[in-house]
A and B are shown apart, each in its own frame.
Chain A
């Protein structure tokens, strides 16, 4: 019964091709709006993923109490790793090896062969226990660094502002007055480690003339055992240590970046809002030019509701097509693009959430953009509308 009252599906589709230039322009506008939404959501999602992927609930970070959670400023005695392993129960062990990673972490100016100005990079001095604690780290090319060598994360070039080729295996980087040869590349499941350069701890300590450490990362048997390290640090106040679960540490960084993420969502809302206004403008133009046609349809016996639905159908089809194009462009060009930020670098992520948001915005543009002009056109009396030019 309802089907008899509706206009044919083809009618709305045909109308889109009857005015190809207008349809193409509207499609282009809608595609750009959806693509912008996709980029901003990709930025937010990439940042969130990078920080959440870095935190492992089994890993606890031990650093100086006075460092204000800034690991770069932390300085703890070199004996801390052995002290922790000996004093705390629940430290993961396998084949006699304790999963305790002493690390020296610093931000420093780094120069590659083709860079005229040094870029700010992140360097981590590590031992061979680091991959035991940082389980997500995988060497994808080359070898573990030996004396005078470094291993670079896959986003380290973005953090430095250098070309990817500058950090190819065998290339050289210079920092803190010493030249290092790149021995390998690693990935870390999208975590913040991917923007770092890893050097052998002992070599880095010699270069920096330091004997202390920035932090100790300890892999515990279970997340519950993290409390035992916290307890140890609060009991041994003479050591002036602080223990924080790695997941909690990076969750606190996420809070730090909350204003950025909020700003991102505001941009999404603004872009979507401007897109709706653009859509309204286009649809007003499209509907005003068809008042006689719409009135004729009414005279033929089609209900206003059916005509309204056809107009919404046209706009929604166009918006959905724009969403498809934008998603394809986003997946090909935007997804995986590296972005620099203070903590390193991360990749824009066009994932299911981003696509869902983009498509929702497109659907909203189609429906909300078409309704007001269609309602306005429908309000005109049929006789007056048929006479209108």
Chain B
């Protein structure tokens, strides 16, 4: 009888020990961390919309390297338009619409999938917000400027273009249309 008692007690005692054994769960991999905001983003924001803004498609075609430029576009054109931890993002020409990957698209619409990757290149541009020394600001644009996806922005700065057709908008300031 005692042995029965001991066996059952042992079984119950062993249970939590067994539960406690084994390797601890490995932490899941983390994405790139964004440093805390330490730069005042308001100095990059315009209170009034600048004049003479051109669309992304026009800017890509007509802008010259180093020339001052005012460009208007909607933040997006990619499944992830943000550069994590940097004041840089993608803008899409205002005349274009984005549909979900796999959906049928008509003229003026592109999807965020890889099937439209080449088409997207012609109507999207990378915007880099730079400081007075021309350096890209290492703070996520969502935190620095308070912008969010699909915001219409008017960007003031200069064009950076090379012979291979790569076009980047180096922005000094921007206006958010809301």
Instruction: Identify the A interface with B (CB < 8 A).
Output: 9-10, 13-14, 16-17, 49, 52-53, 55-57, 65-69, 223-224, 226-228, 230-231, 234-238, 240, 245-248, 250-251, 317, 320-321, 323-324, 327, 350-356, 359
Complex Cα distance A353/B23, Å? 9
13 A-B pairs within 8 Å (CB atoms) are namely A13-B5, A13-B7, A13-B8, A16-B4, A65-B114, A68-B115, A226-B84, A230-B84, A317-B11, A352-B24, A352-B25, A355-B19, A359-B18
Tell whether A49 pairs with B26 under 8 Å between CB atoms, given A13-B4, A68-B114, A224-B85.
yes
Flag whether B32 is at the interface (Cβ < 8 A). yes
Please determine whether B22 and A235 come into contact, CB atoms closer than 8 angstroms: no
Please determine whether A324 and B15 come into contact, CB atoms closer than 8 angstroms: yes
Complex Cα distance A9/B84, Å? 61
Please determine whether A227 and B83 come into contact, CB atoms closer than 8 angstroms: yes
Please determine whether A352 and B23 come into contact, CB atoms closer than 8 angstroms: yes
Please determine whether B84 and A355 come into contact, CB atoms closer than 8 angstroms: no
Of B5, B14, B19, B168, which is within 8 A of A235 by CB? B168
Please determine whether A235 and B126 come into contact, CB atoms closer than 8 angstroms: yes
User: In the complex, what residues of A have CB within 8 A of residue B166's CB?
Assistant: 235-238
Tell whether A359 pairs with B19 under 8 Å between CB atoms, given A227-B86, A238-B164, A317-B8.
yes
Please determine whether A238 and B165 come into contact, CB atoms closer than 8 angstroms: yes
User: In the complex, what residues of A have CB within 8 A of residue B85's CB?
Assistant: 224, 227
User: In the complex, what residues of A have CB within 8 A of residue B138's CB?
Assistant: 224
User: In the complex, what residues of B have CB within 8 A of residue A247's CB?
Assistant: 29-31
Flag whether B178 is at the interface (Cβ < 8 A). no
User: In the complex, what residues of A have CB within 8 A of residue B30's CB?
Assistant: 57, 223, 247
Complex Cα distance A65/B126, Å? 16
Known: A227-B86, A320-B15, A351-B25. 6 other contacts (CB 8 A): A227-B84, A240-B117, A246-B29, A317-B11, A323-B15, A355-B19
Of B5, B11, B86, B117, which is within 8 A of A320 by CB? B11
Complex Cα distance A356/B26, Å? 16
Please determine whether A231 and B88 come into contact, CB atoms closer than 8 angstroms: yes
User: In the complex, what residues of A have CB within 8 A of residue B5's CB?
Assistant: 9-10, 13
User: In the complex, what residues of B have CB within 8 A of residue A57's CB?
Assistant: 29-32
Complex Cα distance A354/B165, Å? 54
Please determine whether A237 and B22 come into contact, CB atoms closer than 8 angstroms: no
> What's the tally of chain B residues with a CB closer than 8 Å to chain A?
46
Complex Cα distance A224/B34, Å? 7
Flag whether B21 is at the interface (Cβ < 8 A). yes
User: In the complex, what residues of B have CB within 8 A of residue A9's CB?
Assistant: 5
Please encode chain B, from 88 to 123, with 1 for each CB lying within 8 Å of some chain A CB and 0 for all others: 101000000000000000000000011101100100
User: In the complex, what residues of A have CB within 8 A of residue B164's CB?
Assistant: 236, 238
Flag whether B66 is at the interface (Cβ < 8 A). no
Complex Cα distance A223/B34, Å? 10
Please determine whether B126 and A234 come into contact, CB atoms closer than 8 angstroms: yes
Please determine whether A10 and B1 come into contact, CB atoms closer than 8 angstroms: yes
Tell whether A52 pairs with B29 under 8 Å between CB atoms, given A323-B15, A351-B23.
yes
Smallest CB separation, B142 vs chain A (Å): 13
Of B14, B23, B117, B126, which is within 8 A of A324 by CB? B14
User: In the complex, what residues of A have CB within 8 A of residue B168's CB?
Assistant: 235
Smallest CB separation, A313 vs chain B (Å): 9
Within 8 A of A (CB), among B151-167: 164-166
Complex Cα distance A68/B19, Å? 42
Smallest CB separation, B125 vs chain A (Å): 9
Of A13, A223, A237, which is within 8 A of B32 by CB? A223
Looking across the interface, which residue of chain B has its beta carbon closest to that of A54? B29
User: In the complex, what residues of A have CB within 8 A of residue B128's CB?
Assistant: 231
User: In the complex, what residues of B have CB within 8 A of residue A56's CB?
Assistant: 29
Flag whether B35 is at the interface (Cβ < 8 A). yes
Smallest CB separation, A37 vs chain B (Å): 14
Complex Cα distance A359/B15, Å? 8
Please determine whether A231 and B32 come into contact, CB atoms closer than 8 angstroms: no
Flag whether B38 is at the interface (Cβ < 8 A). no
Complex Cα distance A61/B1, Å? 65
Please determine whether B11 and A324 come into contact, CB atoms closer than 8 angstroms: yes
Smallest CB separation, B129 vs chain A (Å): 12
Smallest CB separation, A383 vs chain B (Å): 32
Please encode chain B, from 71 to 86, with 1 for each CB lying within 8 Å of some chain A CB and 0 for all others: 0000000000001111
Of B28, B32, B117, which is within 8 A of A227 by CB? B32
